[in-house]
Each structure stands twice: as structure tokens, then as C-alpha cells.
Amino acid sequence: MQRDEYLELMHQVNYTAALFRRAYSAAYGSPDRELFENSGKAGGKPRGYGKILATLSREDGITQHELAARLSIRPQSLTAALSKLEEGGYITRQRCLQDKREQIVLITPSGTEHSESIQSCRRRTAEEMFSCLSAVERGQLCALLTRVTESAENS
């Protein structure tokens, strides 16, 4: 593949991702809007709350340190986001019994409900966006994107 083809491929991936975000926002609005409104701040849109809740839905009861590593978030940024989620009643934190310096992060029923709502919206958007592909093509695309992702993570 020539250099220009690589740039075209990168452009296509970025443009497709932007279209996905636009379609999702147009259909469902901001999944973090409720969390943001509860945060007491004005202007802008918080990012990452949905990812935090989705991760806790799968791995509830992990330490803040483990959560920061899984999400590739700076610990200070995660602490601020968790404080807002805790204020909104979406998570709770408790001291780790083995290491009092660590905190265990737990998702609440309200947090689970919000996470499921976000995932449902994302699932519907994905179904709409990928309906032009057959099941075999979706599998091939997933395999190709996985290879590209692994390559990017290892470089």
C-alpha cells in the first residue's frame, strides 16, 4: 500500500468514527447528560462516565488503581470522575481491607441501570450502522479492526 493509501485509510476510519458518534448523538442525545446535569457544572460535556460504568458493570469491586489502568485514565482524572459518579449515586467506594491506601469501587443499582441504558443505545446504533454488512462481513471487519487495534497497542 502506498503512503497516500495509508493516509486515505486513516481518514476513512476517522470519518466513519465521526459518523457513528453523530448518528448516536442524533438518535439518543448525550448518554452522559444526566450524569453531567447532576454534577452541578455548567457548559461542556463530561467524557468517560459511560466507560467507567460499563467497566464496573463487568468487573465490579475492582480497585481505583486497577480501574485507572484498565481505562488508561490518569488516577487524578479518575478520582475526579468517581467523585461525581459517587455524588450522583452511581457508584460507592470503600477502603480495601488488604491495603488501606486503596479504595474498592462498586457500582450501585442506579449505576447499573444507567450503564445498561447507555449500552442499549449503543447496541441499537451499531445495529443500524452495520446492517449494510452481512454476518460474515461483520466478522471479517471485526477481525481486521482487532488486528489494527493490537498493532496500534503494541507500537
- Predicted confidence (pLDDT) per residue in 106-135, tens digit: 999 999 998 898 888 888 888 988 999 999
Give CA 26 to chain center in angstroms. 18
**Average pLDDT of the residues in 84-106:** 92
Closest CA to 71 of 83, 54, 86, 93: 54
Q: What pLDDT, on a 0 to 100 scale, did the predictor assign at position 29? A: 63
Q: What angle do CA 85, 112, 71 make, to 5 degrees?
A: 60
Q: Kind and range of the H or E element at 122? A: helix 109-130
Task: Give the separation between CA 5 and CA 137, rounded to whole angstroms.
Answer: 22
Q: What pLDDT, on a 0 to 100 scale, did the predictor assign at position 39? A: 46
Block residue for cell numbers 486497577 = 66
Q: What is the 8-class DSSP label of residue 98?
A: S
Q: What pLDDT, on a 0 to 100 scale, did the predictor assign at position 112? A: 94
Q: Is residue 94 scored above 60 in pLDDT?
A: yes
- Predicted confidence (pLDDT) per residue in 12-60, tens digit: 999 998 988 888 777 666 655 555 454 444 333 345 688 899 999 999 8
Q: What pLDDT, on a 0 to 100 scale, did the predictor assign at position 120? A: 87
Residues forming a β-bridge with 91: 107
Q: What pLDDT, on a 0 to 100 scale, did the predictor assign at position 47? A: 55
Distance between start and end Cα atoms, the chain: 19
This model's pTM is above 0.95: no
Residue 30 φ/ψ, nearest 5 degrees: -85, 120
Q: Is residue 150 scored above 60 in pLDDT?
A: yes
Q: Could you give the domains of the chain?
A: 8-154 (1.10.10.10)
**Average pLDDT of the residues in 68-95:** 93
Task: Give the separation between CA 154 and CA 25, rounded to whole angstroms.
Answer: 31
Q: At what angle do helices 109-130 and 3-28 cross, to 10 degrees?
A: 120
Q: Is residue 1 scored above 80 in pLDDT?
A: no
